[in-house]
Amino acid sequence: MLKRTLLLTIVFCLLASSAFGFKGIAQHGKIVDGKRQGFIIGIGLGGHQIKFTQDVSLNGNRGTTKRTKSGLSVDFAIGYAPSNKLELFLFGKAADFSITNFYEDEVTINNTLAGFGGSYFFSIPQNDETWVESFYLSSGFGRAIWSAPEIEGAADHEGSGFFVGAGYEFLQYVRFEVNVVSTITSFSGIDFDGRWEIDTNSTFIMVGLKAMAF
């Protein structure tokens, strides 16, 4: 987990530093490109708090647990902006946290939602402006995966989910975002203890910064 966090931090810094020269062209001392339009790519880092409920059945014996955890969150997007007001993208939002499992082992869980989304911006450049600060709203839906990547052979729990978010682009290539992500996943299988059925409902709030290139 530490190595992945370090790698993501390096990628975030590289993207943030290179974004300023991604598509801008100087003319008479002004940037004539760099609008929030065309091909876009971004990565975000931050923290999250997740609340989840798990219904667990082992050989027909059912139990329910409710927990609240926190940890690192990451956010990735790639897509196309047909105008300065609208972005359409493929996204991945992931939250990492630690729990104590059924066997009293401390394990790292990764809850990921990946799919298709969009953002709508309320402010657009006027006259000869190339960019302006703006609030925006985002939403998307996709496939959800609940996994324990550090456990060899552990099966993924799969399902679906959606997110809604709001943000503020306060610099030309840097945004502050808050996202609420909801997922529902399920798993059924057999091991040496018997037959398992696990249904998980989770909601996590992500807060962080996102570096963009466009």
Mean pLDDT of the chain: 83
**How far, in Å, CA of 97 to CA of 203, rounded?**
13
**How far, in Å, CA of 199 to CA of 210, rounded?**
32
Q: What residues contact 4, with CB distance under 8 A and at least 6 apart? A: none
What single-letter amino acid sits at 169?
Answer: E
- Joined together, the tokens standing for residue 19 give 């974004």
Amino acid 33: pLDDT: 52
Domain CATH for 114:
2.40.160.20
6 pLDDT band, cuts 50/70/90, is: very low
106 pLDDT band, cuts 50/70/90, is: confident
Ranking 23-37, 107-121, 168-182 by mean pLDDT, the lowest is 23-37
Amino acid 97: pLDDT: 93
Whether residue 27 has pLDDT greater than 80? no
199 pLDDT band, cuts 50/70/90, is: very high
Question: What predicted TM-score, i.e. pTM, was given to this entire model?
Answer: 0.82
Amino acid 128: pLDDT: 65
| Enclosing H/E stretch for 3 | helix 2-19
**Distances from the Cα of 15 to the Cα of 40, 152, 213, angstroms:** 12, 32, 7
Amino acid 185: pLDDT: 96
Domain count, the chain: 1
Whether residue 187 has pLDDT greater than 60? yes
The structure tokens 């990946």 sit at 114
The structure tokens 């006027």 sit at 126
Whether residue 55 has pLDDT greater than 50? yes
Q: Which domain holds residue 26?
A: 2-213
138 pLDDT band, cuts 50/70/90, is: very high
Q: Which of 26-30, 55-59, 80-84, 88-92 has the highest mean pLDDT?
A: 88-92
The structure tokens 């647990």 sit at 65
Whether residue 104 has pLDDT greater than 90? no
DSSP 101: -
Question: What percent of the chain is modeled with pLDDT above 70?
Answer: 81
